[in-house]
Amino acid sequence: MLELETKVRNVIEQIRPYLQADGGDISFVELTSDNVVNVELHGACGSCPFSRMTLKNGVEDAMKKAIPEVKSVEAINM
């Protein structure tokens, strides 16, 4: 599980610059036992009406390509 979490964190770090370029950001919260990645969206991403599309079509797709074990990526509000 720790190795998988490290991979997830690495993918998030690769994605962050793209979100930061648009005034947003993303941070890792947890990897659940059923391989769901929970993240928190910040800045412009937190209030953007397209954030769900970005999360699913961008972040989740990239995550699943890099780590096929990941079931989904979900945004949670802290």
User: pLDDT (tens digit, 9 = 90+) per residue, 2-59?
Assistant: 899 999 999 999 999 999 998 999 999 999 999 999 999 998 877 778 888 888 889 9
Nearest to 52 by CA among 74, 35, 37, 34: 74
* Coil, strand or helix at 23: coil
Count of domains for the chain: 1
Q: Are 25 and 45 in contact (CB under 8 A)?
A: yes
pLDDT at 53: 84
pLDDT at 14: 95
Q: What residue numbers bound the domain in which 65 lies? A: 2-75
- Model confidence at 78: pLDDT above 70: no
Give strand pairing partners of 16. Answer: none
Tell me, what CATH number does 57's domain have?
A: 3.30.300.130
Local confidence band at 74 (pLDDT 50, 70, 90 cut-offs): very high
CB-based burial label for 6 (10 Å; 0-12, 13-18, 19+): exposed
